[in-house]
Structure 1
Amino acid sequence: MSSADIADIHLVDVTKSYGSHVVVNKISLVVPRGEFVSILGPSGCGKTTTLNMVAGFQEPSSGEIRIRGENQVGVPPEKRNIGLVFQNYALFPHMTVGENVAFGLKMKRKSRAEIEDGVRRALRSVHLEGYETRYPKELSGGQQQRTALARAIAPQPSVLLLDEPLSNLDLKLREAMRIELKEIQQALAMTFVYVTHDQEEAMAMSDRVVVMSRGVVAQEGRPVDIYQNPASAFVADFIGKSNLLAVKETEKLNGQLRLTLTGGLTLIAQPATSAPAAKVELCCIRPENVQLAAPGEISENLLTGRIDKVVNLGAHVDVWVDVSKDCTIKAQLPLRRLEGVNVGSDVRLRIEPKAVQPLTV
């Protein structure tokens, strides 16, 4: 039996178009049972359209959407056994927390005892015991979000779809809810499909991240793999912070690559995978992998430059170093490393070959 056969969600060449405008273009995706998957991308990339097709709010122009092996094309949303959590929570303001959470169970015509038990279990799962008689207006933003989550999980759906549910919360609460959402998902062992444009959210919570661009999947994989080995310039630029440097020439050298940058500088790269088959046009270097070299140090990828800008961010310092007329490299350094070093200072930078990632455009 293949992984697709036991998957909670399986998209097969799913396309959505409006006339000649293609929003989602032949996406195929397998989401195993119990996985937390984030669909990540900028506005207009097709991620919300993809979620809406899984939910049944939109029908694909072509392709199949299978939930636990059953094709759902043509099946209305209420028949798909899917839970939904929206950006604006969509709580009923005239209903109490308990009544909101009970709504889906009542629609399924559960008995009074089953409804009471389902509400109790759902509220316990999101740590809202004792809030049954409160109204949404009496809750904080985080409590409203958890109420919406409880309402979605009370009917015990096979899959929970979440459409940017944290975007209306302030930064500190959003960071706290990331941890809580992941803990709830693990405790329930439920499949979560989470749509967001916030790469930190996706990286913090997901077992797997699906990065979309212009209606197609640009890359998918574990967060750490996507961050360390982006498949394209788009992914490198969208996920985290990057130095993207133009490459003029590439030469293979004993399992490594010698990259000649525009402007004449050279870097040695030791990619985690074999060198790209297509022409390398860029290389990616994460700012945290750029270090200040010690006086007299001799190693590969030593660059000399002058500090152009320094921004103190408390936990670290961002430093921009002009290493040639046409090339500026950003480094992320601990504050203590910059003692006595200021804008205008000459410095040497060290970059490990394994931190230089060759890219095709």
Structure 2
Amino acid sequence: MNIYNFSAGPAMLPKVVMEEVRETFLNYRNTGASIIEIGHRSDIFVEVLEETQRLFYQLTDLPANYKILFVHGGARMQFSAIPLNLISLSPARKSSYVETGNFARQAWEEARHYSLAQVVASSADTDFDRIPDERSIQCDEDAAYLHITSNNTVYGTRWNRFPLVKVPLVVDATSEILSRRMDYSQFGVTYAGFQKNLGPSALALVIIRDDLLGHALPETPLLLDYSIYAKHRSLYNTPNTFAIYMMQLILRWIESLGGIAAIERLNDAKAKCIYDYLDSTEFYRGVARPQDRSTMNVTFHLLDRSLTDLFLQESRDRGLLALKGHRSVGGIRASIYNAMPIEGVKALVEFMKEFERIYG
């Protein structure tokens, strides 16, 4: 029986990448040592680091005036780091946030410790089933930045068009990084936890425009100061070397498939497979407004919610793992990140159809 892991994160990684790691784990490039045992400032690891950065620039067409940083603490640590690094850009210490779900709200709540953080648009009144209309965003021109969460894992929504504002746009892209083509020159800062599309958890990728470096508050801890990471090539202290190595392999895998445009087509096809079925039945109800649907996290409920636990139990028995919705909303969530093959999505849809035939 094939096993497909629909976990929201840590998420499944490409099988071919996992197999390569298994083959090289005990003896990396005939060194006699594992990649996790090699010094982070050694020529061998610096080569891994530099190729990982080069591949990211190449695959994303990232402009040269942006730095790629590997930062400790995952995406949630950046909820603190963003205001600490940027709030001095606003004499009034203002920051603006769009609230589109749990993590967007948590980012705003953390920013309140360091700034006059304001929610300038929200979809809370419709239980976060949509992205707010761009015209509703009232961002102060004297704010240091506007923060958005580009894909919302809990509710299954995403921004299809990014707001045009006169202040730096900061984007939490944790749950969709590298899943679709994005023009990073629109953003002042983009950050993403590793555990969805980049590799193992506990590290964050930060992409920051050069002119936004060097503005950290004096009280900013060294390991939250982006300029320290930039100055020391993310090697100020020991980073998660294994996660960076895994990201290198994942970027090579994306390149082998034809790049991000090819990944985007595959992700669109996977999501369409599930959404087309959801739209054809009354047995299941999608959470997100159709025009705001995520291609990474498909969220839905059974019309008869008393069947949810049975659905989850029987899906596990069929090798379809981790379909339980976020604890705050319940229901079903199928996270179909880059590594999920379309065969896994088809297996899920076939199970959904069979479950409806039996219990509908």
- Give the TM-score band, short-chain normalised: under 0.3
Higher gyration radius (CA): 1
| Higher relative strand content | 1
Larger RCO (alpha carbons 8 Å, 6+ apart): 2
Higher helix share: 2
